[in-house]
Amino acid sequence: MFATRQRAGHIARKLPRAARSYASEAHGHHKAAEVNESFGKGSIATIAVFFGEVLFYQLIPKKGEDSSVTNLINKYLSRKEDWEETNALHTKAMEQAGYDRNLFENTSHKHRFVDVAYPEALQSHAARNIQAGHLLKLDHVVEHYKQKHLENEERKAKKLAEQKE
């Protein structure tokens, strides 16, 4: 089978071939064809790779320096020192808040005014279509709870004084 292939190839090479003729050249008008030639994709890619390598080697950090990519990553990462500083500030603020609360809680309560919640809660409803004289005055209720609070504070103060003795 190999011999027949060789023989067929040999015969095909010896056959005469017809020459091509172009009709546009046959009339005697021999004007040069206008061709828009460009550099092509391969040459543009080669130039781009060259300038890319130059830029890459310009951006490589010198010995002992950090790269710009590493600096960018470290800029957005949280560091241990940052957390320590934040926690120290938070602890200081909590200690100050505790001190302030202790200061206000352990002062004299005789002149402290305590609301029930707010007196209007007893009459909370829409403020429309209210007849004249319909709303109650709650000053006596507020005064009652204020007196109760003062009595409770005096009782607590006496109890603490007895415990200290």
Q: How far is CA 8 from CA 18, 29, 88, 94, in A?
A: 19, 42, 93, 99
- Calculate the dihedral angle through the C-alpha atoms of 124, 142, 100, 153, rounding to the nearest 10 degrees: -140
Q: What is the pLDDT of residues 51-109, one digit of tens each?
A: 999 998 887 878 888 877 788 888 888 788 888 999 999 999 999 998 888 877 777 66
Which pLDDT band, with edges at 50, 70 and 90, does 9 fall under? confident
Q: What is the pLDDT of residues 123-133, one digit of tens each?
A: 666 667 666 66
Confirm if 145 and 116 have CB atoms less than 8 A apart: yes
Rounded distance between C-alpha atoms, residue 25 and residue 32, angstroms: 11
Rounded distance between C-alpha atoms, residue 98 and residue 90, angstroms: 12
